[in-house]
Chain A
């Protein structure tokens, strides 16, 4: 199996070169994306097959990379689970791009990097030694950076690209440290040898912290998230879908691989920072999503929230595993993995919707949209599925994974440590808040974009998107529904991966009647998405039937919401800022929200202005001082550029002597 996966990655790499060589030809774009879609589909099949047949790990060594050592690749259940995710998300984004790519003005800025980006992510998942892992990771970062810079003529995007590059470089450097520490004195650089190295608890904790920083900066953990809401939206929409839906999951994979597989046992207290950071990230991410006015940035902030949710699940799994409660650890980890899968589905779907809206209207600003349900009915329906799923409403898939996570949270009284007994329910409270805010956020998103009246001419003249895009979005929406009503299939699918990570899997869900989900025991809790769907369909259908039966059939048209003052201007509608206002006011200290009212003096007929702004405290309190410090230090050290030759030599000589003296004393 690994051979198929590796050769598919190679195919993708080849596609990159083909795309570079064939630039300028018209049909190239569609052909490249079709090739990517087929390759990704193959990857997904490999992943599903490996998981479903519970085939053991298969490994191979490719004689490229470091001389004499080569690159070690390995496909086990954990890689397979994420490979399935990557394949599905990649295939959907590629099919979408066949249609979306036609609108691209400069396709040669996307085409060469896109297949390579997919290949690099595949290789991260398949890597079985630190060198291959870090190399693929860095290639993934660089290629996605190139994709972020597709529309490099806009100043905003260049800034985003620069910020992304800095953060990605920082993250890889931290990962390098983490793997260096894990390798130990023996220099065990392949994963098999790393598993054997014995580590002190302090060292393991340090590695875990470094992994949280390194992988967390790519996934978007607070406060390392600052690049994500600017870089993800800057890329073309199918790439945004990949970055948000898939690349953050590849970062998660890195964390899971190290924390659950390579690192060996981890002390219980190390789960505390993971849970806390995860829960805080979830709430902060969705708060920012609630107040932001840019459609794609809202989605990117929501990605941060979901990553926070998944990290909380991983932290819980670590806590349960440290206390040898394998069954509950499996529950938490399953919730995390299934949520990762679900997030890939609905977030990719929503980014595609945003892309379709962007193509149809040229607007990313929520306040320039509105009323699109009439102009783009199919997209609007698919978007409705997406927002329902991401708002975690039953019977869709977002509910399943969050429900399972809360089941795990509710088991926290079983933990022996009092600290965790208090902390986990508190984190659960934060997660519940995040879930409610997510619902609010996507009501706002959907309401402002698709409902009401158009707020701009562009929105008034929008048309339905193309068939390829609709196919991709439809497939993802279907997956959302299926994963919601028969979640057992997905849970059984990731069970081998969970078993590999925590030593136990959830009980097999396939035999339960009515596709019911029973994570712990039948007496405790169960959920059947299928029955909920049947109930919603029956009750909804009955209500509709009753309304139509009892109500008058006469069509009446009357002005809505005019409150006695008919005003045709769509600006008077409830807008994105209006939706955000209550949350912005309540959460003002956290969001650093300020409102300034400018009233013209009496007699002046100028308009009064209300300006509301929020800022990211992580940016102003953490990053700005660092940037200022680096700037000041750079100015100070600038003098070093203008020394005489002899002074340079003296500098080198002096530092050598200093180091040698240090070594002598230290010995």
Chain B
């Protein structure tokens, strides 16, 4: 593999992780959605680049799927939801941004340590790095789901987690297209379900803060 090919792939995967951190840092919902769209575009680029260097044409389809669904449709739909529901424009966090960022760094360190160890026998350096970055993106997505109160931000966390999955799949060389398509569709359906769900919550509680749900179930925090 050419040095340049490797570097570009590395750059794209690395910037996905970087954007994940940016998502943690956002404190406005619109900017969060924009950052998420940026991550999806970067994912599309990364997958397309993988398609180019692996010569695997079906990956272009994956890239296109990522670009269309996650780069445009999903952020646009979420924008509309936020507008129509008149949700708080601020991201409500559980803990402060700084501890979350620190935890995120720990997670990245963990995933790199783990993946580089586990894949020691693999010859393909690119796949190793890619897997480490993908796991970081997944864990950061989860971290975001855990540390946010608002349902919309949790949806974004879930979608970003899924970005990590696609990145791993693209790097792994040989994941069939049908799997990716089904994953993409399941994400879309999850999006629809969650959207409907959000409307229902909103109708009932006048808020999409998940804590209203908890209060409804009669629990203390």
Q: Given A642-B219, A645-B210, A645-B214, is A664 in contact with B117 using a C-beta cutoff of 8 Å?
A: yes
Pair B213/A664 contact, Cβ less than 8 Å: no
Given contacts A660-B111, A664-B113, A667-B118, contact A644 B210 (CB under 8 A): yes
Q: Counting CB contacts under 8 A, is B53 at the interface? A: no
A646 with B113: CB separation less than 8 A: no
Decide if A7 is an interface residue (CB 8 Å cutoff): no
* In the assembled complex, A653 has its CB within 8 A of some CB on chain B: yes
Residues of A within 8 A of B107 (CB): 657
Which residue of A644, A649, A661 contacts B110 across the interface (Cβ within 8 Å)?
A661
Question: Which residues of B112-161 have CB atoms within 8 Å of chain A's CB atoms?
Answer: 113-114, 117-118, 139, 142-143, 145-146, 149
Are B214 and A649 closer than 8 Å at their CB atoms?
A: no
A417 within 8 A of B: no
Q: Let me know if B194 is at the binding interface, CB within 8 A.
A: no
On whether the beta carbons of B118 and A649 are closer than 8 Å, the reply is no
Assess the A663–B114 pair: CB atoms within 8 A.
yes
Contact B214–A667 (Cβ < 8 Å): no
Residues of B contacting A663 with CB < 8 Å? 114, 118
Q: By the criterion CB–CB under 8 Å, are A664 and B114 in contact?
A: yes
**B110, A650: Cβ atoms closer than 8 Å:** no
Instruction: Please state if B145 and A664 are interface contacts (CB–CB under 8 Å).
Output: no
Hey, what's the 0/1 contact readout for A507-541 against B, CB within 8 Å counting as 1? 00000000000000000000000000000000000
CB pair B110 A657 closer than 8 Å: yes
Known: A656-B142, A657-B110. A646 touches B117 (CB 8 A): no
Find the A residue at minimum CB distance from B106. A657
Residues of A within 8 A of B210 (CB): 644-646
Answer whether residue B189 sits at the interface, using C-beta atoms and an 8 A cutoff: no
Q: How far is the CA of A664 from the CA of B118 in the complex (A)?
A: 8
Task: Report chain B residues within 8 Å CB of A642.
Answer: 217, 219
Inter-chain contact A649/B114, CB cutoff 8 Å:
no
Which B residues are CB-close (under 8 A) to A650? 146
Answer yes or no: B181 CB below 8 A from chain A CBs: no
A645 vs B201: C-alpha distance in the bound complex, in angstroms? 14
Residues of A within 8 A of B142 (CB): 649, 652-653, 656
Q: Could you tell me the distance between the alpha carbons of A222 and B105 in the complex, rounded to whole angstroms?
A: 55
A645, A646, A667: most-surrounded residue (chain B CB, <10 A): A646
Q: Does any Cβ of A come within 8 Å of B94's Cβ?
A: yes
Measured between alpha carbons, how far is A644 from B151 in the docked complex, in Å?
13
CA distance A663 to B118 in the complex (A): 9
Residues of A within 8 A of B217 (CB): 642
Chain B 84-119 interface residues, beta-carbon cutoff 8 Å to A: 94, 107, 110-111, 113-114, 117-118
* Pick from A645, A646, A652, A656: contact of B94, CB under 8 Å: A646
Partner of A644, one of B118, B139, B145, B214: B214
Return chain B residues, CB-CB under 8 Å to A652: 142
Q: Report the separation of the CA atoms of residues A291 and B210 in the bound assembly, to the nearest whole angstrom.
A: 63
The bracket for how many chain B residues form the interface is 20 to 34
Q: Would you call B146 and A646 a contact (CB within 8 A)?
A: yes
Set of chain A residues within 8 Å of B94, measured between Cβ atoms: 646
Name the CB-closest residue of A to B111. A660
Question: Which residues from A are CB-within-8-Å of B110?
Answer: 657, 660-661, 664
Closest chain A residue to B213 by CB distance?
A645
Cβ contact of B146, chosen from A649, A660, A661, A667, cutoff 8 A:
A649
Q: What are the interface flags for A102-139 relative to B under an 8 Å C-beta threshold, 1 for contact and 0 otherwise?
A: 00000000000000000000000000000000000000
In Å, the complex CA distance between A652 and B138 comes to 13
**Which B residues are in CB contact (< 8 Å) with A667?**
114, 117-118
Q: Flag if A660 contacts B214 (CB, 8 Å).
A: no
- Residue of B whose beta carbon sits closest to that of A661: B110
Chain B contacts of A644 at CB under 8 A? 210-211, 213-214, 219, 221
- Which residues 630-667 of A sit at the B interface, judged by CB distance below 8 A? 642, 644-646, 649-650, 652-653, 656-657, 660-661, 663-664, 667
Please name all residues of chain B whose beta carbon is closer than 8 Å to the beta carbon of A653 when the two chains form the complex: 142-143, 145-146
| B214 contact set on A, CB distance < 8 A | 644-645
Decide if B114 touches A660 in the complex (CB within 8 Å): yes
Which residues on A sit within 8 Å (CB–CB) of B146?
646, 649-650, 653
Shortest distance between the CB of B73 and any CB in chain A (Å): 25
CA distance A652 to B161 in the complex (A): 14
**Residue in chain A with minimal CB distance to B157:** A649
Bound: A663/B94 CA distance, A: 29
Contact B118 A646 (CB under 8 A): no
Q: Which of A645, A649, A657 contacts B139 (CB 8 A)?
A: A657
Distance of B145 from chain A, by nearest CB (Å): 5
Q: How far is the CA of A642 from the CA of B142 in the complex (A)?
A: 21
Give Cα A222–Cα B213 distance, bound, in whole angstroms: 52
A residues less than 8 Å from B211 (CB atoms)? 644
B13 to chain A, nearest CB (A): 19
Determine the chain B residues whose CB is within 8 A of the CB of A661 once the complex forms.
Answer: 110
- The closest CB in chain A to the CB of B210 belongs to A645
Min C-beta distance of A124 to chain B, whole Å: 37
On chain A, the residues within 8 Å of B113 by CB distance are 664
Contacting residues, chain B, for A646 (C-beta < 8 A): 94, 146, 149, 210
Q: How far is the CB of A185 from chain B (nearest CB, A)?
A: 15
* Chain B residue with the shortest CB-CB distance to A664: B114
B213 to chain A: which residues have CB within 8 Å?
644-645
Question: CA of A117 to CA of B52 in the docked complex: distance in angstroms?
Answer: 58
CB distance B219 to A649 under 8 Å? no
B212 to chain A, nearest CB (A): 11
Contact with A along B147-183 (1 / 0, CB 8 A): 0010000000000000000000000000000000000
Q: Which residue of B lies closest to A642 (CB)?
A: B219
A644 to B213 CA separation, bound complex (whole angstroms): 8
Give the distance in Å from the alpha carbon of A650 to the alpha carbon of B144 in the complex: 10
CA gap between A645 and B221 in the complex, in Å: 11
Known: A642-B217, A667-B118. 14 other contacts (CB 8 A): A642-B219, A644-B219, A644-B221, A646-B149, A652-B142, A653-B142, A653-B145, A653-B146, A657-B139, A660-B114, A663-B114, A664-B110, A664-B114, A667-B114
- The 17 listed contacts between A and B (C-beta, < 8 Å) are A642-B219, A644-B210, A644-B214, A644-B219, A644-B221, A645-B213, A645-B214, A646-B94, A649-B142, A649-B146, A653-B145, A653-B146, A657-B107, A664-B113, A664-B117, A667-B114, A667-B117
In the A-B complex, the 4 residue pairs with the closest CB atoms: A644-B214, A664-B114, A667-B117, A650-B146
